[in-house]
Copies of this chain bind each other. A is one copy, B any other.
Amino acid sequence: MTIAGIYRTQKRNLKEIEQVMENLLKTNHTTLHQAAVDLLRAGGKRIRPILVMLSAEFGNPNHEDVKKAAVTLELIHMASLVHDDVVDNANLRRGKKTVKATWDNRVAMYTGDYIFAHSIEHMTGVHLPYAHQLVSKAIRDISLGEIEQIRHLYNVDQHLRHYLLRIKRKTALLIALSCQLGALTAGCSHDIVRKLYYFGYFIGMSYQIIDDILDFVGTEKQLGKPAGSDLKQGNITLPTLFALSIPDVRQRVVSCFESNNEQADWDGAIQLVKQSGGIEYAESINERYLAKALNILKSLPQNQVTENLRKIAKYLGKRKY
């Protein structure tokens, strides 16, 4: 089955999930309503719900808790993006103006709070105390990831482990949780739940590394925002981290960071990072996570579900935009 085919099999589920989200976020408050509608329409790949649904197929995917988990996770993701755009001072996401850009930081703050609140409330419909613990821990970790990102902005002396911990918290944990909760709410065995958690964790790491590579090699049209945004904002991702080990490149990046204004030769620094071997280095780390993800799948029952997860992993880990 192709990726399009997998999405087709989940079309009805995804539609239902979208509908639930729309109903939940309905409000007669004009600004809030518009912000929520814009966010829902902006869409995205809905990777978290897809992973919840696919993972659930190792058990009973029709259990009512499965979709509740899917809705909860997508809402948490959505809320965290809105707050993240405040932290990153980002005006564009997926080619659309962000909430903070359309309105302001205050609106973005309360819109995020409102969506977060709904996600937590929706989750209370799931009658598995352990699942609640997992979700609340994930929310805490995401908030820590956001904070860590700010903390390490412009820090050219950080280590690989700082980067990895950051993307784990920022991205990988919620994707891991999607697989884990899909299996858990569908009543899968402890062993399958645990393996799917790791599968999700590895593809989540891969997903963010690819994202960070694309920020350098993608076009503005593909990215929906200017290329090199991460570097310009002082967000040191894997390609830059590698490039900083080369004295000449390091000097140019530091000089940009220190001037930190429009006059800095950002394009020059971005080119240097791209030519430093940093992209290839990041790709090699990505390959390692992807291999780990595929490896885990080998230990699961071999059926159509495993096959679909394999396709999703390769699709996410090799995507070009």
Which residues of A are interface residues toward B (Cβ below 8 A)? 27, 29, 31-32, 83, 86-87, 105-106, 109-110, 113-114, 116-118, 120-121, 123-124, 127, 129, 132-133, 136-137, 139-140, 142-144, 146-148, 150-151
A143:B114 contact, CB within 8 angstroms? yes
Are the C-beta atoms of B117 and A140 separated by less than 8 Å? yes
Could you tell me the distance in whole angstroms from the C-beta of A41 to the nearest C-beta in chain B? 20
Q: Does B109 contact A121, Cβ atoms closer than 8 Å?
A: no
12 extra A-B contacts, CB within 8 A, seeds A116-B143, A117-B143, A120-B139? A29-B144, A86-B106, A105-B105, A105-B109, A110-B147, A113-B116, A113-B146, A116-B116, A117-B136, A121-B133, A121-B137, A127-B129
Contacts of A105 in B (CB 8 A): 86, 105-106, 109
Q: Which of B27, B109, B117, B132 contacts A109 (CB 8 A)?
A: B109
- Could you say which residues of chain B place their CB within 8 Å of the CB of A83? 109-110, 113
Find the B residue at minimum CB distance from A141.
B117
Q: A29 to chain B: which residues have CB within 8 Å?
A: 144, 147-148, 151
Q: Count this chain's copies in the assembly.
A: 2
Q: Which residues of B contact A109 (CB under 8 A)?
A: 83, 86-87, 105, 109
10 pairs, CB–CB < 8 Å, chain A vs chain B: A86-B105, A87-B106, A87-B109, A87-B110, A114-B143, A117-B136, A117-B139, A120-B139, A124-B132, A132-B132
Contact status B117-A120, CB under 8 Å: no
In the complex, what's the smallest C-beta–C-beta distance from A20 to chain B, in angstroms?
15
**Closest B-chain residue to A105, C-beta based?**
B105
Do A139 and B110 contact each other (CB < 8 Å), given the known contacts A29-B148, A147-B29? no
- When C-beta atoms are compared, the residue in chain B nearest to A128 turns out to be B129
Q: Given A129-B127, A132-B124, A132-B132, are A143 and B113 neighbors across the interface (CB < 8 Å)?
A: yes
Cβ of A127: which chain B residues have Cβ within 8 Å of it?
129
Please state if A110 and B148 are interface contacts (CB–CB under 8 Å).
no
A169 CB to nearest B CB, Å: 11
CB-CB under 8 A from A150, the residues of chain B are: 106, 110
Q: Is the CB of A143 within 8 A of B110?
A: yes
Given the known inter-chain contacts A106-B150, A129-B127, A151-B29, please indicate yes or no for A121 contacting B144, CB distance below 8 A: no
Interface centre among A27, A106, A113, A150 (most CB of B within 10 A): A113
Nearest B residue to A132 via CB reads B124
Please name the residue on chain B nearest to A144 by beta carbon. Answer: B114
Contacts of A144 in B (CB 8 A): 27, 29, 114
Smallest CB-CB A-B distances: 5 pairs: A117-B140, A121-B136, A113-B143, A120-B136, A124-B133
Bound CA–CA A140/B184 (angstroms):
26
Question: Could you tell me the distance between the alpha carbons of A57 and B87 in the complex, rounded to whole angstroms?
Answer: 44
Q: Provide the bound-state CA to CA distance between A127 and B133, in Å.
A: 11
Which of B106, B124, B129, B146 is in CB contact (< 8 Å) with A136?
B124
